[in-house]
Amino acid sequence: WFPKQERGRANAAWIVGQSVAPAIAMPFFTWWIGTHGWRSNFFLCAALGLIPLWLLWRYVADKPEQHKSISEQELAYIKAGQETESASSSESFMLRVKPVITNYCYWLLVLWYLCLQCLYWGMITWLPTYLKSARGFSWAEMGWLASLPFVLSIFSKAAAGVFVDKIGRSAPILMVLMFFAGISIYFGTITEHKYMSAVLLSFAVAFCSMGTPVAWTLLQGMVSGKSISAASGVMNGVANGLSSLSPVFIGLFISITGTYTGGLLCLVFISAIAVVSAFVLTIKKY
């Protein structure tokens, strides 16, 4: 629905919820379990899960003209910002997705997004253990440290949406973000100061998360509307499926090297791969 010049902010608006939720949920559910026990936590989660169902039923429609509260002026604005596509709706599925699967730039974006997810899940999975075991933080200190990456990600994602709409290009932002994510992991790992390490690694997660709305904005500009569902599904499936192995490989490197440093530094290598893929996309003017 959103015009091209607003897609960055539109993507950031809903993706930022992925950081707002854990930033609030982690301390809240810690308090809830400590006060009411872990069993009641499941019932609470079930009740909270009903809230988005009502919101979707009440406020979301398949098409702009089906929305109950839309005005004629807003509808005209939305339609004016849509990109026209000449393809017939009778085209077969393969004809619609062929331009996507044969576009190497699309697969470079998938590779970049895979690297992002590897960094994200690797950091989120191992960061608490690393800070507790390798850096010597207490459980009391871990309370706010566990939420810090998500709190920083709220602001970084919101800023990303503004930047991509203002600049009009996505690939240079993706390249810079993964560069700083890798740098933050590297210096956060080698520094001797534990608080500096915690802050730098939290910023690494924030830089990494900042690329999510930018990547989806780039995808929506790269792929036509008739193919966006398949392209999104493949990108999401490949990235999330393969990145689920990231914590395992980090654990393997920790076991081989005997230190957490080896495991975390492998994420720096992954960020370098992402920088290269985004660099090629930048050359291609994305």
- Per-residue pLDDT of 124-141, as tens digits, reads 899 888 888 888 888 777
Q: What is the pTM of this model?
A: 0.86
H/E element, 23: helix 17-36
Q: Quote the pLDDT of residue 148.
A: 87
Domains in the chain, please, with CATH? Answer: 4-48+85-283 (1.20.1250.20)
DSSP 3-state of 245: coil
Distance between CA 102 and CA 97 in Å, rounded?
Answer: 9
For the purposes of burial, counting CB atoms within 10 Å of the CB of 138, is it exposed (0-12), middle (13-18) or buried (19 or more)?
exposed
Query: With 80 as the cut, is the pLDDT of residue 165 above it?
Result: yes
User: Residue 254 above 80 pLDDT?
Assistant: yes
Mean pLDDT, the chain, integer: 89
Q: Kindly state the helix (H) or strand (E) to which residue 222 belongs, with its residue range.
A: helix 194-222
> Above 90 in pLDDT, residue 232?
yes
184 Cα distance to chain centroid: 17
What's the CA gap between 217 and 171, in Å, rounded?
10
pLDDT in tens, 83-118: 666 555 567 778 778 888 899 999 999 999 999 999
CB-based contact 131:198 (threshold 8 Å):
yes
Lowest mean pLDDT among 130-134, 159-163, 278-282: 130-134
The arithmetic mean of pLDDT across residues 163-176, rounded, is 94
If you average pLDDT over residues 273-282, what whole number do you get? 98
